[in-house]
Amino acid sequence: MTNTLVEQEKRGALGVIRMNRPPVNALGYELRSQIAEAHAAFEADPEIAVTVLTASGRVFSGGADITEFNTGRKHPYLTELIAMLEEGRKPVIAIVNGIAFGGGFELVLGCDYIFALPGAKFSFPEIKLGNIPGAGGTQKLPRLAGGPKALELILTGKAITADDAVTLGIAETVAADEAAALARLEKAVADGLPRRRVRDIVMRGSPDELDAIAEGYLRRSRGAPAEKTALEAVRKAYDTPIDEALAWERDTFQILNATPEARAMRHLFFAEREARKIADLPKDTPQRSVSSVGVVGAGTMGRSIAMCFADAGLPVILVEEAQDRLDAALAAIAKTYEASREKGRISAEEASARMALITGTIALDDLAAVDLAIEAVFESMEVKCSVFTALDKVCKPGAILATNTSTLDVNRIAAATARPEDVIGLHFFSPAHIMKLLEVVRAEKTAPDVIATAMEIGRRLGKHSVLVGVCDGFAGNRMFINFNREAQILIEEGALPWQVDAVMTRWGLAMGPLAVMDLAGLDIGYHIRQARGPQTPYPFTTADRLFEAGRLGQKTGKGWYLYEEGARRGTPDPEVEELIKAVSKEKGITRRAVSDDEILRRCMWQLVNTGYQIVEEGIAQRISDLDVIFVNGYGFPRTRGGPMCFARETGLEQVARDIIRYHAEIGPHWTPSALLLDEAGVSPGSR
Ligand code: NAD
């Protein structure tokens, strides 16, 4: 076999193996075999005293080739390759030139000594794929960095720098570049460099602190298996012979890999990458340069949108109608940054640097020079059109004019300007500086370079940009409203709000749909419904009655639930039960016991059926984009992979049959999506 993925070079007594499998030196079968071969050659070469493992460029190794997780692997496995390095006669030194993630980090921990270059970064991101390191990471990192720090790194997936690695005892030193590292190594070899296998280091300290470190992560992971297993693994570093612990770790990795949670998280990993691709937009579509931003409207959204850009280092001009509202907005932003500083999330310098990037004005004319203007005024077509007509006059040619509307027709908003090709929807989610989703709404006339730039803006803000088309509610809200409506219908049929919420939180949502309405305020939905006119055939009658009875949710101490003074968790209220029963009676519905299973299916399949319709209509590009939307914009748990992934896990055929039955038994809002039936291989007439 020709060695094409590694370069071998002899430098005196040093045998250098340089990985070269772009883009990230993923440790697939061929790279593993070629490293093994090169190592064996240096082991056998009498002129070589020490083997050096490194790579060129900005990456050491991004870790496993995760396509192998689904397709199966071939020998030598990574664990076997690492054992080979450890069992050889000669020391192996890693010169870590760039990122060493996951399996790449484990390969490094299989070496005797680690030299870091300034660009080195180390992390175990496995937890983000529902797993733990499986090639020795959980046993060796604790031996170098101590159990508590190792557990923290395994549970967070956070990356550490070259300097951190030295401080934590992981790396010996930071060398300026490869030549400097090799020179230092040559000297060490001349002085007689002894072998020092990380696996042989005796663990110091006790595992007592581990529980306290894991506690918060275990709570937030809500019983997902990877977090619990990470704790168990690091504990083994203290009390289990290493070979036994390594065998356990290897088997456990395989078991976790096959769990629905790991499958779901892998699905999301690929879905989030896929979402960046736009079918009809070539990769080399030019982009417009965006280095200054204006935000019009400094209410709930405008404030947090301004913070998003300041957090990413871009200057923002925030425009309000009146000075007092502008002052209130700037004060609220300052308070939010101050709170982040107090919690230790950002430094005092960062807080003031970010605040300094935001300037306020009440003159729209001040946006004359910005590259991007985002409108976040009231959700009214009239108000938005007048703002766009004004922006068209004020903004320089080539500026991108974006709307943050949640529901309105972006084509109509674009038509209020003489440059509809520059107009696009940038739909942020609340709070915008926290939520990781940006729905990019493409209107009929939006220019390709504006779309490409908008997608990139999301990335610069650390968000997942998902491209959607114009329709009421775009992708996310259109699906979500149908989910909420089904919850209302189930309540009128016989379920109670606390039953519905309990079903959804057991499934994995942080809050059920009724508790969310109480948090947001029942007035919001009520006013939207009023503005839109009668919703037939399924009005939100119960929600409207609650609003009319002054039950607006947490802010009035009662909504779907009753809230004790200052409490964020509500308790069931007999008055609400009476009100619900009265609505059922008024509608001539005989209440019945609704099973938890029916609640879950009907709420989830509404999301799924609507999702397929949205793709069928070309509003979203692909089914997996909808999972990216729900996980990053609506707080759906990553361990479920999103609603569409859940439907696949359940079996699309089963989902399609349920929907056909609901359509016959419940009503036209269950008309099955043709795309769904097609993908499920079910004909519309079958039950
Ligand atoms: P908001 O009522 O809190 O804020 C709107 C602000 O715009 C007010 O401060 C108002 O003074 C200002 N304003 C109105 N006309 C203006 C003008 N001509 N020039 C400058 N300022 C003007 O509303 P919000 O919740 O921030 O929503 C804003 C937009 O964002 C709406 O289109 C809404 O649908 C959308 N949105 C809201 C959310 C959310 O959860 N609140 C989420 C996504 C999108």
Q: For residue range 499-513, what is the model confidence (pLDDT) as tens digits? A: 999 999 999 998 999
Provide the phi-psi class of 177: left if phi over 0, else alpha when psi is between -120 and 50, else beta.
beta
Confidence grade of residue 220 (pLDDT, cut at 50, 70, 90): confident
Question: Is 223 within the bounds of a domain?
Answer: yes
8 Å CB contact between 261 and 639: yes
DSSP string computed for 65-82: -THHHHH---SSPHHHHH
Determine the Cα–Cα distance for residues 54 and 44; give it in Å rounded to an integer: 20
3-state secondary structure of 117: coil
Question: How far does the centroid of ligand 1 lie from the alpha carbon of residue 403, in Å?
Answer: 10
Question: Is 394 within the bounds of a domain?
Answer: yes
Question: How far does the centroid of ligand 1 lie from the alpha carbon of residue 428, in Å?
Answer: 12
Whether the upstream peptide bond of residue 118 has omega within 30° of 0, thus cis, is: no
85-97 confidence digits (pLDDT tens): 999 999 999 999 9
Contacts of 284 (CB under 8 A, 6+ apart): none
349-358 confidence digits (pLDDT tens): 999 999 999 9
Same domain, 238 and 363: no
Q: Is the pLDDT of residue 130 over 70?
A: yes
Q: Is the pLDDT of residue 1 over 50?
A: no
Confidence grade of residue 57 (pLDDT, cut at 50, 70, 90): confident
pLDDT for 56 equals 86
514-552 confidence digits (pLDDT tens): 999 999 899 988 988 888 777 666 788 999 999 999 999
What ipTM does this complex have? 0.98
Q: Which residues sit with their C-beta closer than 6 Å to ligand 1?
A: 296-302, 319-321, 325, 376-379, 383, 387, 404-406, 428-430
Provide the 10 A C-beta neighbour count for residue 349.
9
Same domain, 530 and 425: no
412-469 confidence digits (pLDDT tens): 999 999 999 999 999 999 999 999 999 999 999 999 999 999 999 999 999 999 999 9
Of 435, 454, 471, which marks where a domain is finished? Answer: 471
Question: Is 509 within the bounds of a domain?
Answer: yes
Instruction: Specify the residue with its C-alpha closest to ligand 1, atom 19.
Output: 321
Question: Is 270 within the bounds of a domain?
Answer: no
Lowest mean pLDDT of 67-71, 382-386, 448-452, name the range. 67-71
Of 447, 471, 495, which marks where a domain is finished? Answer: 471
Same domain, 71 and 185: yes
Question: Has 64 been annotated as catalytic?
Answer: yes
Contacts of 183 (CB under 8 A, 6+ apart): none
8 Å CB contact between 178 and 117: yes
Instruction: Specify the residue with its C-alpha closest to ligand 1, atom 39.
Output: 430
Question: Is 645 within the bounds of a domain?
Answer: no
Instruction: Specify the residue with its C-alpha closest to ligand 1, atom 35.
Output: 405
Question: Is 541 within the bounds of a domain?
Answer: yes
- 544 against 687, higher pLDDT: 544
Same domain, 103 and 198: yes
Q: Is the pLDDT of residue 166 over 60?
A: yes
Question: How far does the centroid of ligand 1 lie from the alpha carbon of residue 626, in Å?
Answer: 25
Provide the 10 A C-beta neighbour count for residue 244.
10
Of 443, 471, 499, which marks where a domain is finished? Answer: 471
Same domain, 427 and 550: no
pLDDT for 535 equals 65
Same domain, 465 and 493: no
Q: Is the pLDDT of residue 687 over 70?
A: no
Residue 618 phi/psi, 5-degree rounding, is 80, 15
Q: Which two tokens stand for residue 332?
A: 């609220």
Same domain, 169 and 302: no
3-state secondary structure of 116: strand
Q: What's the DSSP call for residue 518? A: H
Q: From the alpha carbon of 296, which atom of ligand 1 is closest?
A: 20
Instruction: Write out the residue range of the structural domain in which residue 54 sits.
Output: 6-258
Whether the upstream peptide bond of residue 431 has omega within 30° of 0, thus cis, is: yes
Instruction: Specify the residue with its C-alpha closest to ligand 1, atom 43.
Output: 429
Same domain, 338 and 203: no
pLDDT for 525 equals 86
Same domain, 406 and 528: no
Confidence grade of residue 360 (pLDDT, cut at 50, 70, 90): very high
Average the pLDDT over 386-403 and give the result. Answer: 98
> At residue 394, what is the residue type?
V
Confidence grade of residue 70 (pLDDT, cut at 50, 70, 90): low
Same domain, 305 and 419: yes
265-319 confidence digits (pLDDT tens): 999 999 999 999 999 999 899 999 999 999 999 999 999 999 999 999 999 999 9
Mean pLDDT of the chain: 95
Q: What CATH number has the domain bearing residue 163?
A: 3.90.226.10
Strands 423-428, 437-442: parallel, antiparallel or unpaired by DSSP? antiparallel
Average the pLDDT over 170-175 and give the result. Answer: 96
Question: Is 266 within the bounds of a domain?
Answer: no
Same domain, 185 and 105: yes
Same domain, 205 and 304: no
8 Å CB contact between 429 and 631: no
Q: From the alpha carbon of 301, which atom of ligand 1 is closest?
A: 26
pLDDT for 538 equals 78
Domain count for the chain, please give it.
3
Q: Is the pLDDT of residue 10 over 50?
A: yes
Instruction: Specify the residue with its C-alpha closest to ligand 1, atom 17.
Output: 321
Beta bridge mates, 468: 441, 620
Q: From the alpha carbon of 377, which atom of ligand 1 is closest?
A: 7
Average the pLDDT over 141-154 and give the result. Answer: 97
Q: Which of 103, 110, 458, 570 is catalytic?
A: 103
Q: What CATH number has the domain bearing residue 549?
A: 1.10.1040.50
Question: How far does the centroid of ligand 1 lie from the alpha carbon of residue 171, in Å?
Answer: 51
Question: How far does the centroid of ligand 1 lie from the alpha carbon of residue 302, in Å?
Answer: 7
Question: Is 566 within the bounds of a domain?
Answer: yes
234-259 confidence digits (pLDDT tens): 999 999 999 999 999 999 999 999 99
Name the helix (H) or strand (E) containing 487: helix 476-493
